[in-house]
């Protein structure tokens, strides 16, 4: 077991190092002076008193430069944005929670809707319910997220006026930023009308969450359906039927647990899709998250911000995927020798 | 209190206004910047001026100065200041005294004197006052007593009062500035401002929002909302969408192509007002063959201006005859303007020695401006017209900063650009657009220098009486019509779109938006 942990950690560290190398290379690949791309400060500004803060040793060899770059990264010294002039670490610390929050809402909804529907489809295998759910899921899966989001805006915001179309809370509420997670921040704050603020957050979240959740839900329906069908086909389920258990009893005692085990690793794989979709949807709904922030950075050719944003997103995906894989390996030793890497 | 009725619209919503602005301001001090975004965010919200313009007549009216007198020779202006005007209290500063003459001296000396401790804070560029040469015009500013200030000019200039009422002549707090010097945070003067205006700044996040709250001790007896919020939304279609859903109460710069959508909505109001601006086609008169007025006349005759206006402005503009719009008193309706006549244009070109025509460039500005919402499209149309008189054209455009830079260097043959005035005085059109000195400061796009013209506009400033000044501006108008350094195309209307429950919002013809006195009804 220790060797598994070691192997995964090793893999993760190497991937992260490659990522950091790439992000360091970006400073040279982007147009302009490398030190400006790294720090976000002009060479004149650097000369006047920032050297101690950004000691990248630009005269030294690349390896030494990289070393200094990594040291600065770990110190939370990520450079400054060209556009806003604010420290990137602080900026990302403020926008990242918004993206995570949105993805989490979407994931929760997808799981809560997708898994029961997947079971429903599997239990009615080759019946109308199954076919209907399957076709709906194919349809949902094929709809581009940005188009769905725009459609939702047109219908529910512009035509019906039920939901607002931008941001995550009305600007009238002045919620002090503590954690960056708006719901937590509201609960922690001492603003006078918490309840209506929370309601406002819910109203703002519904459309973006649903737009992302549709794709993930359809995926989960399909994954669950297949897994349940496979489980129901196994011999121990047949044996349970043979012992005279009802369908309900079979499901509760043998079906659910065994069907769910292969679902979770696949769910974790969806995290990447979810995050990508969240970033697209953010720009449409002006959700103040990482995706929206990165798009703005690209728009303003803010190279330090693009570099830092790219590093954050990729590191996040790598760490998350690897940790989930590791957890699953530790929980389910059966996977040790089986085909790995199947989706 | 709200516990029993959780699902109602909170009180805060109805007590504030959301304005969807097109961008983030560079600072909160209009002295430093002529960009409309900065002015909208600061000038009339945070600050007051000594004088204001009457919104209807354009006359100069008292603001922080209750009255003023001008000496007989027109050189000494004495202002009596308003008493009991309080500055904003912000979390890092509470004023200990009310507004007085020291604040006026501080604010004006900042851009006037380079020895002033704050002159070089935030860059030291005072675009507006520099372009008008106000620092050179003012000889001295004296504090007579706590509530009386005397300004002496080097020479007579009748547009002086109008300049003091413009968006840029704001009054800052001298006490706050001193406080910042002690705290060694001088740059905060322009970023965490303290003024006497109706709203005070409470929060700003770049590209996201600006928050203001009511100035409780505002000296004017006007209705103020508890909160004023600028929601920064660069995309014009998104601004319109937010207006439709009610997330914005007022939006900045509705696009000309979207005006009909707004008109069709019963819950929205679209205000239209003729703008104090001019869109024109300027010829680079420093270059042959454009130094020949007859060639310029031929080019002007080859283009059908009415068709241009229809295609570019939809119905949001009126054809221009002079460089000043009809709402200015210097406007002359009976001037003989050029009409579309390609045959005559060809004839003139032949007479002037260009029977085969020639090649030229049309520079088209890359950005949308009220006076010309689509210069590149307009250039394409002009290209087609000029083809008919055998002139081959090339359309040139650069990124906006570089574009203006190259224009100042005079690299263009002709350019489609325009001008929005900052105050109601006609000098604000005549001087920056065509005077000799404005070639260097970079607003004379025709690179045109006529001593006769300069003489007219200088003389016009020697008189206070409008009728006397009108005489000289008429001369100037005729001189322009005769020499055609530029072809005036259109005066575009200004639009403002807002929800029907917003009360008393009007378009400020002389600059930035004003939210003092604007209120909101619950729907």
Decide if A185 contacts A175 (C-beta within 8 A): yes
Q: What does the alpha-carbon distance between residue A165 and residue B248 come to, in Å, rounded to a whole number? A: 11
- Burial letters B158-170, b for 16+ CB under 10 A, else e: bbbbbbbbbbbbb
pLDDT at residue A333 tops 80: no
Interval A30-68: pLDDT, tens: 887 777 777 777 766 666 655 554 555 556 677 888 888
Residues of B in contact with A195 (CB under 8 A): 2-3, 6
Choosing among A156, A196, A300, which should be mutated to test the B contact, i.e. which has the most B CBs within 10 A?
Answer: A196
Q: Which two tokens stand for residue B393?
A: 């054209």
Instruction: For residues A42 and A51, give the distance between their C-alpha atoms in angstroms, rounded to a whole number.
Output: 12
pTM of the entire structure?
A: 0.79
Whole-complex ipTM: 0.78
Residue A84 near chain B (CB below 8 Å): yes
Distance between alpha carbon B70 and the CA centroid of its chain, in Å?
Answer: 27
Give tens-digit pLDDT for A120-155: 888 888 888 889 998 988 898 888 888 999 999 989
CA distance B156 to B465: 13
Place of tokens 């995906």: A317
User: Which residue's structure tokens are 């997708």?
Assistant: A114
The whole-angstrom separation of Cα A12 and Cα A5 is 11
Backbone angles phi and psi of B142, in degrees to 5: -120, 145
Distance from A175 to chain B by nearest Cα, in Å? 12
State the pLDDT at residue B208: 87
CA neighbor of B130 nearest in space, from B440, B428, B441: B441
DSSP characters for A142-179? Answer: HS-HHHHHHHHIIIIIIIS--S--SSSS-TTS----SS
- What is residue B200's predicted lDDT score, i.e. its pLDDT? 93
Q: Which residue of A has its CA nearest to B233?
A: A286
Vertex B491: Cα angle to B485 and B493 (nearest 5): 160
Q: Where does chain A hold its CATH 1.10.3720.10 domain(s)?
A: 88-301
CA distance A106 to chain B (A): 24
pLDDT at B284 (0 to 100) = 93
Q: What whole-number distance in Å separates Cα of residue B28 and Cα of residue B31?
A: 9
Interface of A with B in 93-122 (CB under 8 A): none
- Residue A166 and residue B233: Cβ atoms within 8 Å? yes
Q: Do A193 and B11 touch (CB under 8 A)?
A: yes
Judged by DSSP in three states, B53 sits in strand
Q: What integer pLDDT is reported at residue B64 of this predicted model?
A: 94
Distance from CA of B257 to the nearest CA of A (A): 18
Alpha helices in B7-68 (DSSP H): 11-14, 36-46
Grouping H, G, I as helix, E, B as strand and the rest as coil, residue A308 is helix
Instruction: Answer whether residue B6 shows pLDDT above 60.
Output: no
Span B217-237, pLDDT tens digits: 999 988 899 999 999 988 888
CATH class as words, domain A88-301: mainly alpha
| Yes or no, beta carbons of B207 and A84 under 8 Å apart | yes
The pLDDT of residue B283 is above 90: yes
Check whether A342 has a pLDDT greater than 70: no
CB contact under 8 A, A157 and B12: no
Q: Do A161 and B246 touch (CB under 8 A)?
A: yes
3-class SS letters over B304-344:
CHHHHHHHHHCCCEEECCCCCCCCCCCCCCCCCCCCCCHHH
Minimal Cα–Cα distance from B277 to chain A, Å?
Answer: 30
CB atoms within 10 A of CB A101: 23
The minimal CB distance from B2 to the residues A167, A195, A296 is found for: A195
Separation of alpha carbons B338 and B31, rounded Å: 39
Q: Give the count of Cβ contacts less than 8 A between chain A and B.
A: 65
For B481, what's the count of Cα atoms within 13 Å in the CB-facing half-sphere? 19
| Neighboring chain B residues of A173 at a CB cutoff of 8 Å | 12
Lowest mean per-residue pLDDT among A158-167, A241-250, B45-54, B405-414: A241-250
CA–chain centroid gap for B41, Å, is 14
């Amino acid at each position: 077991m220790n060797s598994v942990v070691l192997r995964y950690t090793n893999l993760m560290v190497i991937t992260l190092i490659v990522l950091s190398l790439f992000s360091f290379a970006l400073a040279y690949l982007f147009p302009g002076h490398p030190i400006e791309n790294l720090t976000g400060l002009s060479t004149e500004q650097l000369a006047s008193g920032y050297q101690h803060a950004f000691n990248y040793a630009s005269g030294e060899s690349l390896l030494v430069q990289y070393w200094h770059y990594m040291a600065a990264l770990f110190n939370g010294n990520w450079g400054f944005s060209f556009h806003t002039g604010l420290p990137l670490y602080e900026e990302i610390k403020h926008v990242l929670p918004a993206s995570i929050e949105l993805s989490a809402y979407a994931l929760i909804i997808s799981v809560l809707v997708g898994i029961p529907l997947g079971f429903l489809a599997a239990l009615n295998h080759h019946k109308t319910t199954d076919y209907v759910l399957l076709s709906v899921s194919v349809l949902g899966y094929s709809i581009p997220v940005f188009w769905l989001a725009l459609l939702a805006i047109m219908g529910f915001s512009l035509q019906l006026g039920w939901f607002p179309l931008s941001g995550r809370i009305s600007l009238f509420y002045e919620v002090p930023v503590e954690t960056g997670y708006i719901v937590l921040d509201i609960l922690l704050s001492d603003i006078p009308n918490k309840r209506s603020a929370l309601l406002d957050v819910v109203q703002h979240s519904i459309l973006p969450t649903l737009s992302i959740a549709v794709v993930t839900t359809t995926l989960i329906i399909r994954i669950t359906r297949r897994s349940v069908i496979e489980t129901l086909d196994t011999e121990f389920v047949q044996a349970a039927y043979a012992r005279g258990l009802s369908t309900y009893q079979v499901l509760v005692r043998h079906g659910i647990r065994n069907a769910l085990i292969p679902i979770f690793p696949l769910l974790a794989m969806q995290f990447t899709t979810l995050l990508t979709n969240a970033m697209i949807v953010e720009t449409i709904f002006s959700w103040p998250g990482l995706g929206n922030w990165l798009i703005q950075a690209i728009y303003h050719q803010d190279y330090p911000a693009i570099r830092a944003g790219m590093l954050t997103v990729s590191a996040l995906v790598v760490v998350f995927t690897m940790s989930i894989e590791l957890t699953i390996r530790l929980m389910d030793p059966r996977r040790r020798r089986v085909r790995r890497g199947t989706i | 209190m709200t516990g029993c009725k959780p699902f109602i619209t909170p009180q805060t919503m109805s007590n504030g206004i959301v304005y969807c602005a097109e961008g983030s301001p560079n600072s909160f001090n209009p002295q430093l910047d002529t960009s409309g975004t900065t002015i909208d965010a600061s000038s009339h919200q945070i600050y007051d001026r000594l004088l204001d313009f009457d919104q209807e007549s354009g006359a100069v009216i008292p603001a922080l100065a209750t009255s003023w007198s001008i000496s007989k020779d027109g050189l000494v202006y004495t202002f009596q200041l308003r008493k009991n005007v309080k500055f904003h209290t912000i979390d890092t500063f509470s004023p200990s005294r009310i507004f007085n003459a020291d604040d006026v001296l501080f604010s004006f000396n900042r851009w006037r004197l380079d020895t002033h401790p704050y002159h070089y804070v935030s860059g030291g560029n005072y675009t507006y006052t520099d372009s008008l040469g106000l620092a050179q015009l003012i000889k001295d500013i004296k504090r007579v007593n706590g509530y009386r200030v005397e300004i002496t000019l080097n020479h007579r200039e009748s547009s002086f009062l109008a300049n003091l009422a413009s968006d840029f002549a704001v009054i800052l707090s001298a006490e706050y500035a001193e406080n910042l010097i002690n705290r060694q945070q001088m740059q905060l003067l322009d970023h965490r401002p303290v003024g006497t205006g109706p709203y005070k700044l409470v929060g700003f996040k770049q590209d996201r929002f600006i928050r203001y709250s009511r100035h409780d001790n505002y000296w004017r007896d006007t209705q103020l909302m508890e909160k004023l919020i600028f929601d920064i939304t660069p995309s014009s279609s998104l601004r319109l969408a937010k207006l439709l859903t009610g997330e914005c109460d007022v939006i900045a710069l509705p696009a000309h192509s979207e005006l009909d959508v707004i008109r069709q909505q019963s819950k929205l109001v679209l205000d239209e007002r003729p703008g104090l601006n001019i869109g024109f086609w300027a010829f680079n008169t420093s270059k042959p063959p454009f130094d020949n007025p007859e060639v310029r006349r031929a080019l002007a005759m080859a283009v059908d201006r009415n068709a241009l206006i229809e295609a570019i402005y939809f119905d949001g503009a009126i054809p221009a005859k002079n460089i000043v719009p009809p709402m200015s008193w210097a406007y002359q309706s009976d001037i003989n303007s050029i009409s579309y006549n390609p045959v005559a244009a060809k004839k003139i070109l032949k007479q002037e020695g260009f029977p085969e025509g020639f090649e030229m460039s049309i520079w088209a500005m890359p950005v949308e401006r009220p006076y010309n919402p689509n210069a590149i499209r307009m250039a394409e149309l002009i290209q087609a017209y000029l083809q008919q008189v055998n002139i081959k054209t090339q359309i040139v455009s650069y990124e906006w900063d570089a574009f203006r830079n190259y224009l100042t260097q005079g690299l263009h043959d002709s350019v489609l650009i325009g001008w929005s005035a900052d105050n109601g005085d006609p000098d604000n059109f005549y001087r920056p657009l065509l005077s000799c000195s404005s070639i260097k400061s970079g607003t004379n796009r025709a690179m045109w220098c006529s001593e006769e013209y300069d003489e007219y506009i200088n003389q016009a400033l020697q008189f206070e009486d409008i009728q006397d000044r009108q005489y000289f501006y008429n001369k100037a108008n005729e001189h322009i019509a005769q020499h055609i350094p530029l072809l005036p195309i259109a005066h575009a209307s200004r639009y403002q779109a807002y929800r029907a429950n917003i009360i008393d919002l009007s378009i400020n013809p002389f600059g930035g938006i004003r939210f003092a006195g604007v209120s909101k009804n619950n729907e």
